[in-house]
Chain A
Amino acid sequence: DAGVIQSPRHEVTEMGQEVTLRCKPISGHNSLFWYRQTMMRGLELLIYFNNNVPIDDSGMPEDRFSAKMPNASFSTLKIQPSEPRDSAVYFCASSLEYRGGGNIQYFGAGTRLSVL
């Protein structure tokens, strides 16, 4: 398996522009997670989906952020409008969740976002 695939790897944009990050989870996994990593706050969970349904979006910083999972093999994280404080590395991860099981998450390589 190719693992979790994120695109783009790097994104540079100007303040106010819309940014869309993409993720393809590992085939067969039923849970998908979006994280943001910054020096100050470390790895923060933004939102996670189970069977394509958003379960917990309490980590989404504000209404400028939205995430979708239209099917089991694709998810997007959108920031509109973007601001310089959104600059960070965004990771997508997937896992196979089952009752009573350990939940090992597998991460993509991340998207480094710079908002100028």
Chain B
Amino acid sequence: DQQVKQNSPSLSVQEGRISILNCDYTNSMFDYFLWYKKYPAEGPTFLISISSIKDKNEDGRFTVFLNKSAKHLSLHIVPSQPGDSAVYFCAASSHITGANSKLTFGKGITLSVRP
């Protein structure tokens, strides 16, 4: 049972345009969400996060939106740059269950930014 779903395996965007990466979750206990970026032959690196008490969090070119009623979050990258080409993982955790360290990851989306 996949609790965090990234249904689109890949996305290709022109440099300078907006990239929108989507993520859905099924577990209503999740209350903290993170995005990680991964380059080939490297480990995932933390990008941005959002708590369920917010619906938006922004950090430079990166903005994460959370829609709790739809159990959906998205990562917006504006403007997209070739260096953003990587695999992006959505992850979620729950403080309610007490296992707040445990992250559940989606399978990732491969973003390609064309020059």
Q: What is the interface of chain A, defined by CB distance below 8 A to chain B?
A: 4, 31, 33, 41-43, 45, 48, 50, 55-56, 91, 93, 95, 97, 100-110
Please name all residues of chain A whose beta carbon is closer than 8 Å to the beta carbon of B107 when the two chains form the complex.
41-43
Which residue of chain B has the shortest Cβ distance to A112 in the bound complex? B41
Stretch at the interface among B10-18, B74-82, B92-100: B92-100
Q: How many Å from the CB of A70 to the closest CB on chain B?
A: 20
Determine the main DSSP class of B at the interface with A: loop
Contact partner, B100, options A33, A42, A45, A103, Cβ 8 Å: A103
Q: Which residue of A lies closest to B107 (CB)?
A: A42
Give the CA-CA distance A91 to B95 in the complex, in Å: 23
Q: Given the complex of chains A and B, what is the CA–CA distance between A63 and B36 in angstroms? A: 31
Partner of B46, one of A31, A43, A55, A106: A106
Contact yes or no, A102 B45, CB < 8 A? no
CA distance A50 to B107 in the complex (A): 25
| Contact status A104-B46, CB under 8 Å | yes
A91 to chain B, nearest CB (A): 6
Do the beta carbons of B100 and A97 come within 8 Å of each other? yes
**Alpha-carbon distance between A33 and B101 when the two chains are bound, in angstroms:** 9
A residues within 8 A CB of B106?
42
Query: Given A43-B89, A108-B43, A109-B42: A102 and B103 within 8 A (CB)?
Result: no
CB of B51 within 8 Å of the partner chain:
yes
A48 B95 Cβ-Cβ under 8 A: no
Q: Is B32 among interface residues, defined by CB-CB distance under 8 A?
A: yes
Chain B residues with CB under 8 A of A105: 46, 101, 103
